[in-house]
């Protein structure tokens, strides 16, 4: 059974930083695309970032140059380093498996329970 468990959310001040983590199990982590998707309170879903099995990464324009996605395949872990945080970054952040590297990325097959990030002074 695929399990994704996020951690690291909390309260940050505008301009501050947070690092989110996602512990993965139940699948071959090293051969899968992984994503972060967020949902502002009471709003819809927004894709944030994608990382390929080999480490290539992509970002939504709204977070480019502020957020960095990375992974540690030896520990089955995914991370999101968030810098220069803004109030509009307030959201639940979900870790989501994006499929095996044989396929094309872009879907979100399983999701974690999410971790809430609040950016406020």
Partner 1 sequence: ETVLTQSPATLSLSPGERATLSCRASQSVITYLAWYQQKPGQAPRLLIYDGSNRATGIPARFSGSGSGTDFALTISSLEPEDFAVYYCQQRSNWPPTFGQGTRLEIK
47: contact with partner 1 by CB under 8 A: yes
For partner 1, which residue of 30, 83, 111, 118 counts as binding (CB under 8 A)?
A: 111
Residues pairing with 58 in the sheet = 50
Encoding tokens for residue 51? 């990382």
Nearer to partner 1, 6 or 18 (CB): 6
Tell me which DSSP letter residue 89 carries. G
26 conformational bin, left if phi > 0, alpha if psi -120 to 50, beta if neither: left
* Site stretch for partner 1 (CB under 8 A), options 9-17, 42-50, 66-74, 82-90: 42-50
Total of residues contacting partner 1 (CB under 8 A): 19
74 near partner 1 (CB under 8 A): no
């Amino acid at each position: 059974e695929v399990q994704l468990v996020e951690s690291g959310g909390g309260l940050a001040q505008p301009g501050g930083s947070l690092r989110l983590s996602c512990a993965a199990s139940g699948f071959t982590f090293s051969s899968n695309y992984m994503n972060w998707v967020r949902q502002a309170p009471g709003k819809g879903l927004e894709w944030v970032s994608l990382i390929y099995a080999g480490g290539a990464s992509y970002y939504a324009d709204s977070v480019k140059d502020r957020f960095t996605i990375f992974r540690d395949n030896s520990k089955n872990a995914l991370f999101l380093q968030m810098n220069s945080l803004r109030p509009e970054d307030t959201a639940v952040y979900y870790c989501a498996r994006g499929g095996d590297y044989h396929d094309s990325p872009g879907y979100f097959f399983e999701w974690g329970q999410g971790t809430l990030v609040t950016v406020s002074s």
